[in-house]
Amino acid sequence: MVKFIKYGRIVILLNGRYAGRKAVVIRNWDDGTKERKFGHALVVGINRYPRRVTKRTSKKRFEKKTKLTPFAKIVNYNHIMPTRYQIGAEWDLKNVINEENIGKERKGDTLKEVKKFLQEKYLNLPTAKGPNDKASHIRFFFKKLRF
């Protein structure tokens, strides 16, 4: 069987506090580990999505509306739904976060780094040339899921 839940895949969380939120898979364990004997993945996602802004929006209001809040979590495969979208290898999220950084002591500092990284990527979004372009995949990640 082909393993398709791997680094860069955009998934939707189905259960728990972040149900309905989009996330990116950072690391996956298909066969589980000693403490978690099931397939699971480390994901980073957006808890509070950026709001829509217009040209007339003031700079202060623009900064306030484009803020986002990230989250990091280890999730069972049964609780995520993979999408067809994927981020490129140019995103260095593996360097920003790993499974050791999401412990209770270091999680706050790590999430601040992730927030800075995602904020920078959101403000420098490339223009999409079509539906299958990688830029449209990134735009999908930063939009709130409507259902």
- Read out DSSP for 37-85? -S-EEEEEEEEEPPPP--TT--HHHHHHHT--EEEEEEEEGGGEEEEEE
99-119 pLDDT, tens digit each? 777 777 788 888 889 999 999
- 8 A C-beta contact, residue 39 and residue 76: yes
Rounded CA gap, 32 and 60, in Å? 46
Question: Terminus-to-terminus CA distance in the chain, angstroms?
Answer: 31
49-91 pLDDT, tens digit each? 999 888 898 999 988 998 999 999 999 999 999 999 988 877 8
Nearest CA to 44 among 90, 3, 101?
101
Q: What is the pLDDT of residue 136?
A: 80
